[in-house]
A and B are shown apart, each in its own frame.
Chain A
Amino acid sequence: SQTIHQWPATLVQPVGSPLSLECTVEGTSNPNLYWYRQAAGRGLQLLFYSVGIGQISSEVPQNLSASRPQDRQFILSSKKLLLSDSGFYLCAWDRGRGGNQPQHFGDGTRLSIL
């Protein structure tokens, strides 16, 4: 069966500090991978998606970036965090075969910026 791991679960960072969140998927190959952010009481905002190694598409302009160094690894980064970067960050995957696949989410990282 497939599993998705996301870490850390919670993170408190000062404004201006760097960020690295990691996500890995097991039990499948060539998945599509996604990063979402959910602000408190708000819906899910798609930040990045990737259909393959090294292929990253950004949905919204921001000071975040994403990378996919391996097939089942997805990393969300920032060089300098802003207060507005606080939120619940979720990694998700789907089977990546022709669309129409449901996405499955990791447990998320709750990021607080001080």
Chain B
Amino acid sequence: QKEVEQNSGPLSVPEGAIASLNCTYSDRVSQSFFWYRQYSGKSPELIMSIYSNGDKEDGRFTAQLNKASQYVSLLIRDSQPSDSATYLCAVNRGTSYGKLTFGQGTILTVHP
């Protein structure tokens, strides 16, 4: 079992729709969770951090965390073609150094 699993996609949604990206993790002691966006040929960019169960909203993005189910998701409302990218889920055990374990990423395509 991979430590952090994501559906590789591609996930295709029409412009204006809600894109739902999912991630599961295997380490129950994980404490912090991050979503990164990576455009083709570019470096990952942090878009959301979440540390406690529930929802966290930032603009069009909502991160959802359920530690009991070991599940974290990212919702993108009113999806735009500019949201087309690979989305990486990353998990941190909370050690003194921030070792992140990344999923393989989900490719999202938003078509006009």
Contacts and interface: CB of A to CB of B under 8 A. Distances in A.
A96 B97 contact: yes
Interface string B90-108: 1011111111101111000
Interface residues of A, number: 23
Contact of A43 (B34, B46, B103): B103
B28 to A, nearest CB: 16
A51 B98 CA distance: 9
A103 B43 contact: no
Nearest to A52: B97
Given A43-B103, A44-B102, A106-B43, A32 B97 contact: yes
Question: What is the interface of chain B mostly: helix, strand, loop, or mixed?
Answer: loop
Interface string A22-45: 000000000010000000001110
A1 to B, nearest CB: 14
B49 A99 contact: no
Contacts of B102: 43-44
15 contacts: A44-B102, A46-B100, A49-B99, A51-B97, A57-B97, A90-B44, A98-B96, A100-B32, A100-B94, A103-B46, A105-B43, A105-B44, A107-B42, A108-B43, A110-B41
